[in-house]
Each structure stands twice: as C-alpha cells, then as structure tokens.
Structure 1
Amino acid sequence: MTLSVNTLDKLDWSALAAQLDSEGYAVLPRLLDADEARLLAREAGTSDALRRVSLDSLDLGRGDLLYFDALLPQPWAQWRTEFYRQLASVANRWNEVLGMPYRFPAKLDAFAERNRRAGQTWAQSHLNRLGTDDYLALHQRSDGEHVFPLQVVALLTAPGKDFTGGDLVLTEQRPRMQSRPTVVPLGLGDAAIIATAQRPFKGSSGYYRVNLRHAISRVRSGERVGVELSFHDAPYAANDQHTFDLDA
C-alpha cells in the first residue's frame, strides 16, 4: 500500500499552489481508495508501535492521538517524502514574499537533519481517533526553530456512514479582522494540504502574514479516524507536555 510518485506528479500542482495561496488549504479527493483507508483505520486500534495520548490530558478536547515514532510505517513515510518534495517550493515562495530569509531544502531528509541539529526530535505525525462526543480543539503545531508551513491530513473513515459530525475546521486571523472559519469537506480516503500556522495573504499594500489554526468538530455519533502528517518535529524538551499553540 504505497503512494506512487506518479500519483502526485500527475496532480495539477500549479492549481493546488494557487488554492493554497488563496485559501490556505487544498483538497485531494480519493488519494486512498476506500478499502485502503478502512484498513489503515482498523490498524489504528491494533498497532503496538503507536504512542497513545489522551486529548483530555492535554486540555485539547476528547479522544485519542496515536503518535508514530520517527520512522513512520508505510504508506505514511512515503507520503511525507513525496509531499515534501512537491511542497518545498511552495513553502520557499511563501517565505520569499514575506521577506523571510529561511529556505527549505529540496528533500525531506535534509530538512529532518536540520530538525535534529536544532534539538527537534519529537515526531508529531499521528493518527487521531474520535468517538461519540469527542473533538479536537483549535490548535497549531508551530513549536521549534524549523517549522514547515504546510501539513497533510487525511480521513480514513466515511462521514455519514461510520460517523456523523467530525468536520475539519480551519480558522484564519487577519490583522484587525474577525477570525474566518472554514469547514473543509473530506470524504473517505480524501486528503488535504493545510497551512500549519501562518501563510502569506496579498492585501492592497502587498503581502502580510495571517495566522491559522485547525480543529475537528464534535463527533455526534460513531468513530472518526484520521491522520495528520507534520514535516517538522517538535523540540524534545516539550515531549512530556505535548505542547501545542492553542486558540485563545
């Protein structure tokens, strides 16, 4: 169960980059077929390699986060490698228009090495498992010197069949404006690229930085299983607290 390089290469990355610029997210329908997605969801409840963390213990909602180790299993390891290869140029362009000197290397291995040298060794990629009345509060993963501005999420169970509620919600805060919420529609096997914490927005006087967070709304019935892949790791000193930047 792997993601073919050709699968991503065949996507219209110019159109995806334009949507990321304008909205801060882009949906990739049916990146996994239904059987693959359901198999990966079932594995979420049986793998001994996943570190379970209760959202309630983090004051971040209700439900479970199931963290991968630094060496992700397939298909997630390949997803991170191939998505990073496509997204590094978008990330660098965002930094350029914001006047930020930092540039991301072309390959994930080189970026991971920068993380290690900076003490960022706490893997953040995880599965999330939410049952009835569970939810994930607004947050962003922006801890550390090396923060990649994009991440990938995917849905492994079917809305309306396996669960109800449980929408992916993004909020964007622009200077001197109210927060703008967006519900991102995801179906079984769909993935989405979303902004991690900040992105450029083009206003009348040029580009400025807007702040973003994401959440999963309350699950009304059933069980929702998804995955969140981060390209940067968190500082190891924060691992016992599992720190997040929460919405005020």
Structure 2
Amino acid sequence: MNAIERTLGRLDGNALAARLGSEGYAVLPRLLDADEARELARAAIAANASRRVLLEAVELGRGEMFDFGAALPAPLAAWRRAFYRALAPVANRWNEALGAAYRYPAELDAFAEQQRAAGQTRAQSYASRLRAGDFLALHQRSEGEPVFPLQVVALLSEPGNDFAGGEFVMTEQRPRMQSRPMVVPLGLGDAAIIGTAQRPFEGANGVYRVNLKHAISRVREGERVGIELAFHEGR
C-alpha cells in the first residue's frame, strides 16, 4: 500500500461526503512533503514539455498547461486509481440524490473501459505553470458522458515563498441565486477534492443541482505550479 492509499484509507468516508456535500470541496493537508511536491512539479513539467499549451490559445486564461496525455507520470497514475476507489461511493451517492440511474464501478479500470466503449479517450489531467500576471479562467471539466462528479487538484509550489496571489477559487451557482465564490486554502503539498461540474444540494424544498466552476486567480509575482486530475475522459 502506498502513502496515498494509506492516507485515503484513514479518511472517514461519511465525514468526507459531508464536507463535499456542504461546500463542494475537501482539503487534504500535506498529502506530499515539500521535497516530494517540488520534485513532482519538476517531473510533471519536464516529462510533458512536448504537450505544452498556452492557456490563452485555448481561451482558459494566461500561462502554461502541460497535458499529461494517456500516460500519467508517477506517482499520479497510482493517485488516480486510489482516489477514484475512495470517491466512487460518494459519486454514487450524489447520482442517487439527483435521481440519476448510472452507478460508477468500484475501480477506475472498469470505468475507463466503459468510457473507451463510448468513444471517450481524450485524457483531461494536466499540470499548470503560472507566472506573474498569469491566471486560469473559470471552467469545469464537464465534457463526456458520464462525467465523474469529483476531481483532485494539488499545489506544488509554496504560497508566500515561491509565488504571491494565485489562489484556487471555486464558484457555486444555485438556482435563482447569485453565484457564491469560495477560496480553497491550499499550501505546498496540499490536495483538494473538488466537485467537477455539478453536485446535489439539499434545500428547503428538496434536493437540487448546483453548478460548480473553478479557477486560479492572477499570480502577482513568482511561479505557481499545480496539477489537476480528472477521472473521466473527453471525446
């Protein structure tokens, strides 16, 4: 069992589901130590330099995105399997609450096989590198069917030391209400489980869908590196 699996194995599933249900995110502090986080930042960018995309070219802000493609760098492939296994029960609770018939398989490989059969083969996980003046615009990874309703982000640089600004931000749009902004507090080596695009919310008149988007605010100085892991593929 690797360190990520041990960490996830210690999580209280009910408490995690409650945190995700109330806010749409849950922070996992110090998933990596400082050296591990910085090494992963270097490796993720170096291994995927040929897949570098300018965010402005795809209308996602300003900065650089390094698409991982089908082969995730270590240890991210192990992360993806372990996180999926831990989050599939929460995803199924959300579908049940929203009246959706689909149920996610217990293991990532089985889910991936279903997606391939449906023609969903474009990987959506990536690293981002933002320097002074750069930002990641509000977006959601909602392409494909079914969309896995949760994903993982991690910060591989240190706020206040490596960079200033660059806060991870989410917005939540409830029916007939103004969008609610949220700043997700991340430090070096922290990860957060976030809602991908929609989640159930229990209001006074029952359960309804709320729409979620996420972004990274403008970096004022320095360099910020982060990763985003998605569990479903795009068409």
Could you tell me the TM-score, scaled by structure 2's length?
0.97
Counterpart in the other structure of 2:199: 199
Whole-Å Cα distance in 2 between the matches of residues 166 and 48 of structure 1? 22
Gap runs ≥5 in structure 2:
none
Q: Does the 8 Å CA contact 1:124/1:230 hold for their aligned counterparts? A: yes
When the two structures are aligned, how many residues end up with a matched partner?
Answer: 234
1:30 aligns with 2:63: no
Whole-Å Cα distance in 2 between the matches of residues 134 and 4 of structure 1? 30
Q: 1:102-151 CA deviation, whole Å, 9 max, x = no partner?
A: 11000000000111111111100110110110000000010111200000
Whole-Å Cα distance in 2 between the matches of residues 50 and 79 of structure 1? 23
Gap runs ≥5 in structure 1:
236-248
Q: Does the 8 Å CA contact 1:80/1:231 hold for their aligned counterparts? A: yes
1:63 aligns with 2:54: no
Corresponding residue SS for 1:124? coil
Whole-Å Cα distance in 2 between the matches of residues 212 and 131 of structure 1? 25
Counterpart in the other structure of 1:170: 170
Aligned Cα root-mean-square deviation (Å): 1.1
- Of stretches 66-75 and 178-187 in structure 1, the one that deviates more from structure 2 is 66-75
1:229 aligns with 2:229: yes
Q: How do 1:147-226 residues align onto structure 2 when only pairs under 5 Å count?
A: 147-226=147-226
Aligned-partner residue type, residue 228 of structure 2: E
Counterpart in the other structure of 2:85: 85
The percent identity for this pair of structures is: 68
- The verdict on how the C-alpha distance between 1:49 and 1:78 changes in structure 2, with shifts beyond 3 A counting, is farther
Q: 1:180-217 CA deviation, whole Å, 9 max, x = no partner?
A: 00000100000000000000000111100000000000
Q: Which has the higher helix share?
A: 2
1:117 aligns with 2:117: yes
Moved over 6 A (4+): none
Task: Quote the offset at 1:233 in angstroms.
Answer: 0.5
